[in-house]
Structure 1
Amino acid sequence: FLTQFSENKVRVIKNLVKIPREIKTEQFIKFFQDKYKKMQKIFLRRTKFNFVSLNKLGKERKEVYIFGIVKNIKEKADKKIVEIEDMTTSVKVEFSLNVKNIDNLMLDEAIVVRGISAGEYLFGKEIIYPDIPLRPPTKGQERVCFISDLHLDETPPSDIKKFFDWFKTQKIPYLLVAGDVSDKESFINYVKDLGSKVFLIPGEKDDSSYPALGIKLKEGLKNVISLSNPAMIEINGVKILMIHKFNLDMLKKRYLGQSKLILNEDSLVLDVVPDIVHCGHTHEPEVQNYKSATIVNSGSPLSDFKPVVINLADRSVEQIRL
């Protein structure tokens, strides 16, 4: 991710702007190493454990903490054998099926394991994710409106017009759109004359790759900023993660899903903690709080649509019924 745009009170923190045309062997290694180092740094900030390198595990039976990337998962009878890799070697860890988090463990994710070292095997007792910290909500100024899943190729124009007629009366300086506009030309016609700054990311209907580059828009649209999926911006000190498809595990694991691309760096590591997560995809309006983060989904005009307005000054949230 690269910082691409900065203006007054708004800063783009994360935005994928380039995808390599050719993938070479060394890029796979570089991609793994980048993810490993970023996630290790997050764990070191979030925990106080002394990690043992996997090549330093001895035959002496003792409790250890290890950090690594999940390389393989196999289930055998009443246990799971998980192969974990660090920068030195890999080791097999045996977990009973009642260990917390074992069921939602996925390949290629970074974890810390508390276990009992015993020769070639490690007996896992606990799977630890870095999670986000509990802290006072960050506040700023101005109001922001959040919408997604407009599906302009399917939604009746009267329903879309109803929203934009309402929006124009509100004098809200920022409009954030979390993907699946589907018809970019129609979208441009709706937003080009707004007096608000518009931030747009693609959804699966716009671009099925993940992460995905921003939607290409015609030049001259000074009020519309097209960003990647996912992306992160900061408005008056409040950090906002824009991501089309989201689940809470992404905050707990500090990782934004499995990449379909091999890049020069792993852009899905959540090394910056968001204050607000703006998502879509489900077509179901929802607002929830997790620790210090507010998670918002406006739903879709195709089902149930409730645009969300957040006042950054007090972090109050309003779901609008049009």
Structure 2
Amino acid sequence: MTEDKESELRKAITGTFRENGLLIAASSLDRIIAAGVNPKDVVEEAKKEGLWIIAEDFILRFIKTDEELTEIAGEIGDAAELPVSVVKTKHSYAKDVAPQIRIREDTDITDKSSSDGTMQNFVDYFNNKYERLGSILKERPNYRTAVTVEALKKLGKTPEPQRIIVMVTEKRESKKGNKFFEAEDPTGQITVYVKPGERRLEQAYNDIMLDEVIGVEGVLSNNLFVAREITEPDLPISHPEHRSEEPVCVAYLSDTHVGSYLFLEKQFKAFIEWLKGSGNRKELSEAIKYVIIAGDLVDGIGVYPSQEKELTLPDINKQYAYFTDLVAQIPNYIEVIISVGNHDAVRRAEPQPKLPHEIAEGLEKLPNVHLVGNPVYADIHGVSHLIYHGTTLDTVIGSFADCSYKNPEKAMTHYLRKRHLAPVYGNDNLLPTTRDYMAINEIPDVLHCGHVHTNGYGNYRGVRIINSGTWQARTKYQEMLGHQPTPAHMPVLNLQNMEFTLLHFE
């Protein structure tokens, strides 16, 4: 069978189950195609038994005939005479370690959203963003004496350069190559001029994003503030870094997209079995104390046009029920932190609250599961984590020549340099909240994102940057864009020595 014909057959079989309200597991679909099982027979029997998930063991009923079963029984003989072997496994280290986890409720918007879309909401949001990022810049010795735009204009031209902290509202370039940007603070507006020919300054100008809060040093000349230096909030070169006293590990996941026919169920189950002690690298699996899932738990409904054609289960409640069944199989001594993303059953505008009770009731009953909003800070065994799905990575990647979907860690570095998870307001779906939950006021030890379906890892000024990729195979949209995801590649971080490992469950 050619690849195209097999793809068409898979879609047809998946469609048959979907039309009957049934979810067919990827491994079950493989069995049906390999053995030539009639999907209609499976559907009929599943309906009789009241099933909605077609597991692999159910398909096996339709593969083995009575003659085959008799033949197998004859080969086995008397089961009582078969030797029994007991395999002893090493006791899991993490099982004996008490969890140390603190969700920073003050950084989670859940139950705190008060925005109703009024003009005052927008004013409050931008004022808070300016205050938060401005306070970071004021920690720098040379910006402690920064003046307001109003005070700068009153001072006029001075022999010594002045410093201002402003939000950028517009960028423009003249035909002659002169570069300008409009900026403001709570006291007024000003035009900043960047002289051509100064490479370092021009690069800083090119890196500026609209709505970004920056520091500018320069002199006032004819109502223009002539820039000599442009400073981002950025991270300090050195800052306190935290480590666990015990060698516990975190497994980082995102973008499982349960409910999509491209969800890699077989690989995900292999991951769960690995946590239970199967396979190799047991010294690592036995140290896993935490699992963090950074959103897009399910594929959702109506997220993009014609999505229903790519779903094995076009029912949002059943998608979450299946996801819950999978999470429930993770050993209960492992703490699981679950955030949300743009495919999940919460509002699209960020920051996003945690999953609502009516969707997450099953997850709420699991004692080792912690449901959180997006973004959120969490202290895990003494190591600070900033967990964010990463929807705004699309904007950041599209804004910088050095960024691409192949290397998401570079775009995530810009989050840290700008100290904000959504530098540009207009490009992304953001809620104008009184507090700017997207600002990175506190420096995390680990920044964990997903969304782009590509793994990435980096270390920027002591912050470990982790993008956890996906558990969904390559989509048609990704093929059209030429984007190559890295599915079923799972990052693991040792919180004691910060050793990074990337495991493949392909």
TM-score by length of 1: 0.91
The offset of 1:131, in angstroms, is 1.1
Q: What is the alpha-carbon distance in structure 2 between the residues aligned to residue 87 and residue 315 of structure 1?
A: 42
User: In the alignment, what sits opposite 1:198?
Assistant: 336
Q: What is the alpha-carbon distance in structure 2 between the residues aligned to residue 149 and residue 24 of structure 1?
A: 33
Q: What is the alpha-carbon distance in structure 2 between the residues aligned to residue 222 and residue 181 of structure 1?
A: 19
Match of 1:185, SS?
helix
User: In the alignment, what sits opposite 2:375?
Assistant: 230
Q: How do 1:1-322 and structure 2 match up within 5 A?
A: 9-13=100-104, 14-17=107-110, 18-20=112-114, 22-49=116-143, 50-57=145-152, 58-62=155-159, 63-77=161-175, 78-96=177-195, 98=199, 99-133=202-236, 134-135=238-239, 137-140=241-244, 141=246, 142-154=248-260, 155-169=263-277, 170-171=285-286, 172-182=288-298, 183-194=319-330, 195=332, 196-206=334-344, 208-216=348-356, 217-218=360-361, 219-245=364-390, 246=393, 247-257=412-422, 258-259=424-425, 260-301=430-471, 302=473, 303-304=485-486, 305-322=488-505
Q: What is the alpha-carbon distance in structure 2 between the residues aligned to residue 156 and residue 299 of structure 1?
A: 13
Q: What is the alpha-carbon distance in structure 2 between the residues aligned to residue 287 and residue 312 of structure 1?
A: 15
Cα RMSD, aligned residues only = 2.1
The offset of 1:8, in angstroms, is 6.4
Distance 1:107 1:186, change over 3 A: same
The offset of 1:61, in angstroms, is 4.4
Cα distance per residue 1:113-156 (max 9 Å; x no partner): 11121141111222201211224642113211111111222313
Instruction: Between 245-254 and 183-192, report the one with greater CA deviation.
Output: 183-192
Q: What is the alpha-carbon distance in structure 1 between the residues aligned to residue 157 and residue 416 of structure 2?
A: 36
Q: What is the alpha-carbon distance in structure 2 between the residues aligned to residue 262 and residue 70 of structure 1?
A: 18
Q: Which runs of 5+ in 2 are unaligned?
A: 1-97, 278-284, 299-318, 394-411, 474-484
Q: Does the CA-based 8 Å contact 1:147-1:176 persist in structure 2? A: yes
Match of 1:100, SS?
helix
Relative contact order (C-alpha < 8 Å, sep 6+): which is higher?
Answer: 1
Instruction: Between 217-226 and 304-313, report the one with greater CA deviation.
Output: 217-226
User: In the alignment, what sits opposite 1:3?
Assistant: none
Match of 2:497, SS?
coil
Distance 1:297 1:21, change over 3 A: closer
Cα distance per residue 1:85-136 (max 9 Å; x no partner): 1121111111245522212312211000111211411112222012112246
- Of structures 1 and 2, the larger Rg is shown by 2
Q: What is the alpha-carbon distance in structure 1 between the residues aligned to residue 239 and residue 151 of structure 2?
A: 36
Q: Does the CA-based 8 Å contact 2:149-2:187 persist in structure 1? A: yes
The offset of 1:212, in angstroms, is 1.7
Cα distance per residue 1:242-268 (max 9 Å; x no partner): 112252111001111145111121111
Q: What is the alpha-carbon distance in structure 1 between the residues aligned to residue 459 and residue 442 of structure 2?
A: 18
User: In the alignment, what sits opposite 1:4?
Assistant: none
Q: What amino acid is aligned across from residue 16 of structure 1 in structure 2?
A: I
Q: Does the CA-based 8 Å contact 2:337-2:371 persist in structure 1? A: yes
Match of 1:69, SS?
strand
Cα distance per residue 1:144-200 (max 9 Å; x no partner): 111111122231321221111112322422100111121432221111243121111
The offset of 1:72, in angstroms, is 2.2
Matched positions, count: 316
Q: What is the alpha-carbon distance in structure 1 between the residues aligned to residue 353 and residue 367 of structure 2?
A: 19
Q: Does the CA-based 8 Å contact 2:258-2:323 persist in structure 1? A: yes
Q: What amino acid is aligned across from residue 277 of structure 1 in structure 2?
A: L
Q: Does the CA-based 8 Å contact 2:99-2:335 persist in structure 1? A: no
Q: Which runs of 5+ in 1 are unaligned?
A: 1-6
